[in-house]
Amino acid sequence: MSTLTEVEAVIVAGGRASRMGGVDKPALEVGDRTMLGTALAAVEGCARVTVVGPHRDDLDPHIHQVQESPAGTGPVAALAAADPTADLVVTLAADLPFITPGTVVALLEALNSDAHAEAAFAVDTDGRLQFLLAAWRTPALAARLAALGGDVANRPMKVLLPERHVTVPVPETTDCDTPADLHAARRAHPGRIAADPAEARRLLRDALLPVPSRVVPVAEARGATLAAALVAAEALPPVPTSAMDGFAVAGDGPWVLRTEIRYAGDGSALTLRDGEAARIATGAHLPEGATAVVRDEFVHVDGDRVTRLPDAPVRDDARRRGEDWEPGKVLAQAGTPVAPAVASAAASGEVTRLEVRGPLRVHIVVTGDEIRRSGPLRPGQTRDSLGPVLPDLVRWCGAEVSGEGHLRDTADGFDALLSGTRDADAVVIVGATGGGAADQLRGALARAGAHTVVERVRCKPGGSQVAAVLPDGRAVLGLPGNPVAAVATLLVMLPAIVDGRTGRIPPAPLLGPLANAEEVAGDITRLLPARQGTDGRWLCDNAVRTSHLAGLIGRTAVAVVPPRAVDGDLVELIPLPR
């Protein structure tokens, strides 16, 4: 067979996947790399590799990048844009998480084994032809494209099918078109031990698919994430307005004072003729004919005569229509949380409804036969010191509580929990990450068809946490039972679930310099209660009892202290609720 050095590869990696909430499908991770990364690995060694789609800054510079025109017009347009020149070309999609270099070799061998064949196509286990997973004689592909006479946009791949072709059974053809496909592909890969909390967050965020968006009145959007940009519907100000208490004037002055006074909220008709002035209040709309506003401090009024003071600066104290923005101005991009400023800017821009995802609805469960919420403790029981405060912590992370419960340590109970909380977007389970209880949680996750994203994290406390995704997209976060570990893990991980499921752009972490790093840093990342000293540096508590939250009293944040940190290092600070 030919060596790969005579072969080009074209990877079709376009557009936003509409069936997956508009995510960038080639960038989704399955296993330990993106699906585009899997495609690139499969064609490594080819003479030239072309990726067709939106430009990706993170690709190796030797990879050729082109975009079909217009963008998003399908695979035929993408192949036309790639324009390969080597004798042979391998084409593949960027949503095939199981293809390998062997898949590519099998296609090329099949093509070479039949001198008359113009192309070799993969067929899946059901015998269906995979048009994009193919090897072509490049002139044959060029001829098929030329025969379309430039009409390549949004054409089905079958228009390229040459009469003389061979097929190759390829078991790795499973593609990822829907969330269910993606979920099934990911389940085939084991969960990971994350190197630190930052990696755990990234893995979880990337494994989650956004919930469907909805259009709601602004007041109902608080706490959600914008799914579409907030675009001003009206100019601000919509009409010329006075910025000061003073006089609306027409012309250069001096002016004759009209008896009418222009108050804010006054919409009556008033027209100034050249040489006239009228008293006006801050926020009032300018009368017709007004050329400027002069504030009280800059004029002298004598009867009905108004003159500008000789040393007063000549300045217009009016706000002009559109001075702040014109209609169509993007006030906040998609992915922005609907915080008070966003809701307020929507009001200023005359926008009454927003397209949003979320707020994230979280179902909270504490587990453990020994845990008791209220009433006197019986022998063997432990007071539930987490259940009463978890709702506050969940809301602090920017989510809503859709339900709460206490679960006994039985397999049935865990199964019922996972199948019965479908109105939630995420399930937070406390105290089932280690020992026997963990088997209940992991067993129930396996029976429910979950994909475990994070199996453990290299950090202390919180190392035993589990994060998984259920087939319907719900996130499951298993928090360690020790209360300090549970709180630290929740504060680190729940915001990542909000990001992943609502499409929120991850907020930049809050950073601060450490005061006593050398005392508290260990071999793995530590999550420690911290407070700010008078010199502005952050002091961490080294010896923290994890069985109660009293150690968090008077502390402002949980510091994420990386291994071998030194004094003065900037570290992430996760604010604690006040």
The residue ranges that bind ligand LQZAQKY5 (CB under 6 A) are: 366, 368, 370-371, 382, 384-387, 430-435, 437-438, 461, 464, 480-483, 485
Q: Please say which residue, 34 or 367, places its beta carbon nearer to ligand MOO.
A: 367
Q: Please say which residue, 176 or 485, places its beta carbon nearer to ligand LQZAQKY5.
A: 485
Q: Is 477 in the site for ligand MOO (CB under 6 A)?
A: no
437 binds, among ligand MOO, ligand LQZAQKY5, none (CB under 5 to 8 A by kind): ligand LQZAQKY5
- Type of residue numbered 549: L
* One residue of 334, 360, 470, 485 binding ligand MOO per CB under 6 A: 485
- DSSP classification of residue 480: -
Q: Which residues, 6+ apart, have CB-to-CB distance to 175 below 8 Å?
A: 93, 95, 96, 130, 181
Cβ atoms within 10 Å of 291's Cβ, excluding its own: 14
Q: Please say which residue, 270 or 457, places its beta carbon nearer to ligand MOO.
A: 457
Burial of 557 (C-beta count, 10 Å sphere; 0-12/13-18/19+): buried
241 binds, among ligand MOO, ligand LQZAQKY5, none (CB under 5 to 8 A by kind): none
User: Least CB distance from residue 5 to ligand MOO, whole Å?
Assistant: 51
Q: Please say which residue, 15 or 434, places its beta carbon nearer to ligand LQZAQKY5.
A: 434
Q: Please say which residue, 390 or 496, places its beta carbon nearer to ligand LQZAQKY5.
A: 390
430 binds, among ligand MOO, ligand LQZAQKY5, none (CB under 5 to 8 A by kind): ligand LQZAQKY5
Q: Is 546 in the site for ligand MOO (CB under 6 A)?
A: yes
Structure tokens, 515: 């005061």
User: Least CB distance from residue 446 to ligand LQZAQKY5, whole Å?
Assistant: 17
- DSSP classification of residue 239: S
- Rounded alpha-carbon distances, angstroms, from residue 168 to 44, 75, 111, 137, 537: 21, 21, 9, 16, 64
Q: What is the size of the binding site for ligand MOO (CB under 6 A)?
A: 9
Contact 23, 212 (CB under 8 A): no
Q: Nearest 5°: CA angle at 175, between 497 and 40?
A: 85
DSSP secondary structure of 400-420: EEEEEEEE-S-HHHHHHHHHH
Structure tokens, 328: 């169509």
Tell me the per-residue interface mask from 434 to 473 with ligand MOO, x by CB under 6 A, - otherwise.
--------------------------xxxxx---------
Q: Is 525 in the site for ligand MOO (CB under 6 A)?
A: no
Q: Please say which residue, 338 or 444, places its beta carbon nearer to ligand LQZAQKY5.
A: 444
User: Least CB distance from residue 565 to ligand LQZAQKY5, whole Å?
Assistant: 21
User: Least CB distance from residue 413 to ligand MOO, whole Å?
Assistant: 22
Cβ atoms within 10 Å of 487's Cβ, excluding its own: 28
481 binds, among ligand MOO, ligand LQZAQKY5, none (CB under 5 to 8 A by kind): ligand LQZAQKY5
Q: Please say which residue, 433 or 452, places its beta carbon nearer to ligand LQZAQKY5.
A: 433
* One residue of 26, 53, 75, 480 binding ligand MOO per CB under 6 A: 480
Q: In sequence order, what are the beta bridge partners of 468?
A: 452, 476
Question: Is the peptide bond preceding residue 26 cis, with omega within 30 degrees of 0?
Answer: no
Q: Where in 48-67 is the site for ligand MOO (CB under 6 A)?
A: none
Q: What kind and span of H or E run contains 144?
A: helix 138-147
User: Least CB distance from residue 426 to ligand MOO, whole Å?
Assistant: 19
Q: Where in 226-255 is the site for ligand MOO (CB under 6 A)?
A: none
223 in helix, strand or coil?
coil
User: Least CB distance from residue 493 to ligand LQZAQKY5, whole Å?
Assistant: 14
Contact 254, 305 (CB under 8 A): yes
Q: Is 170 in the site for ligand MOO (CB under 6 A)?
A: no
Contact 347, 409 (CB under 8 A): no
Q: Please say which residue, 45 or 435, places its beta carbon nearer to ligand LQZAQKY5.
A: 435
User: Least CB distance from residue 202 to ligand LQZAQKY5, whole Å?
Assistant: 23
User: Least CB distance from residue 549 to ligand MOO, whole Å?
Assistant: 13
User: Least CB distance from residue 436 to ligand LQZAQKY5, whole Å?
Assistant: 8
Q: Please say which residue, 135 or 430, places its beta carbon nearer to ligand MOO.
A: 430
Cβ atoms within 10 Å of 271's Cβ, excluding its own: 12
Q: What kind and span of H or E run contains 186?
A: helix 179-187
- Type of residue numbered 255: W
- Rounded alpha-carbon distances, angstroms, from residue 131 to 119, 120, 235, 439, 513: 10, 9, 50, 44, 56
Q: Nearest 5°: CA angle at 548, between 547 and 551?
A: 115
User: Least CB distance from residue 370 to ligand LQZAQKY5, whole Å?
Assistant: 6
Q: Is 482 in the site for ligand MOO (CB under 6 A)?
A: yes
- Rounded alpha-carbon distances, angstroms, from residue 551 to 364, 387, 441, 522, 540: 23, 17, 29, 20, 11
Residue nearest to ligand LQZAQKY5 (CB): 481
- Rounded alpha-carbon distances, angstroms, from residue 311 to 134, 307, 308: 82, 12, 8
| Closest among 554, 397, 421 to 490, alpha carbons compared | 397
167 binds, among ligand LQZAQKY5, ligand MOO, none (CB under 5 to 8 A by kind): none
Q: Please say which residue, 67 or 385, places its beta carbon nearer to ligand LQZAQKY5.
A: 385
Rounded (to 5) percent helix, strand, coil in the chain: 25, 30, 45
| Closest among 402, 360, 333, 348 to 218, alpha carbons compared | 348
Binding site for ligand MOO (CB under 6 A): 460-464, 480, 482, 485, 546
